[in-house]
Amino acid sequence: MRIVFMGTPEFALPSLKALLESRHEVVGVFTQPDRPVGRGHKLDSPPVKKLAEQYKVPVFQFEKVRRQAGLDAMRALNPDLVVTAAFGQILSQKLLDVPRLGTMNVHASLLPRHRGAAPINWSIMQDDKVTGVTTMLTDAGLDTGDMLLKAETDIDPEETAGELTERLSEIGAELLIKTIDAYENGEITPEKQDESRMTYDPMLEKGMGEIDWRKGAQEVHNLVRGVNPWPGAYTSLNGETLKIWKTRVLADIEGDVAGSVLKASAKEGLVIACGAGAVEVLELQMPGGKHMQAKAYLSGKNIAVGTVLGETDE
């Protein structure tokens, strides 16, 4: 089949690579425009663009693919099927009508749970034990199309969003090829989503990483995992922003004041009281400093026991 792929970040790479190495012909790749990155604000290409160029596949970048230029480019490619994976733009009905067999999406959740742009992060932050990938037919709604196939996987209790994203991207690529082959042969009956079981999660914003120490230890731990690597969990320490990259739940330790430092030494580590239980901070980063082990940081710096992090209702 003639396939057009639409995707942008690292998550989309295994799916694109699987298509490029399959029996199908990838006739074009749509991705987001190059963006300035880093302190120098140099333009950088999306990961999907870099991979497509390696395989010498035509790349199309539109600020809004819904506009006429995007529609004309899609029609000119005359695809049998369009595949999307974390593309980052809403497709118009006119675009969806172009491919003969429709548009298929690789979505990183077990739909209808976790519709939206950040399903992996929210599955961790909401303490899900199981997640997965759903292949689906795209319609004009937001992740509302009929489901095709699913693949489930357990979430490790210490797994970060970045680590889970990498795993699900590989699971999604394998499921995509399986879905395309079965769909092409008429072996899949699309399944409507049960709207009564639907959940929708918003896009992540930078401020979502701020830790509320009044929450329970497990909820704090889930936040730290769920926003790693972006936007990253953070709190304030003596007027400075302290980034917290990794924690461990200590359910059997309690403190009188949420956010208070219970232990702080190179031997015992950095232990912070939560609304219920406590967490040990395993990895941290101070402003202008390096991402490092908390115990290593405490071997050269002092944090006073009793110091209260962030804002609390004390």
pLDDT tens digits, one per residue of 278-298: 999 999 999 989 999 999 999
Average pLDDT of the segment spanning 225-230: 98
Q: What is the pLDDT of residue 314?
A: 43
Q: What is the pLDDT of residue 311?
A: 62
Please report, rounded to a whole number, the percentage of residues in the chain having pLDDT higher than 90. 95
Would the pLDDT of 312 be above 80? no
Identify the CA nearest to 176 among candidates 5, 10, 19. Answer: 19
**CA of 90: how far to CAs of 94, 109, 265, in Å?**
12, 18, 50
Identify the CA nearest to 271 among candidates 259, 283, 261. Answer: 261
Would the pLDDT of 313 be above 50? no
Residue 183: count of CB within 10 angstroms of its CB: 19
Would the pLDDT of 38 be above 70? yes
Average pLDDT of the segment spanning 45-54: 98
Give me the domains of the chain, ranges plus CATH numbers. Answer: 2-201 (3.40.50.170), 206-298 (3.10.25.10)
CB neighbour list of residue 83: distance below 8 Å, 6 or more residues apart: 3, 4, 5, 6, 15, 19, 103, 104, 105, 106, 176, 180
Amino acid at 236: S
Average pLDDT of the segment spanning 265-282: 97
Q: How confident is the model at residue 188 (pLDDT cuts 50, 70, 90)?
A: very high
Average pLDDT of the segment spanning 224-243: 97
pLDDT in tens, 124-154: 999 999 999 999 999 988 999 999 999 999 9
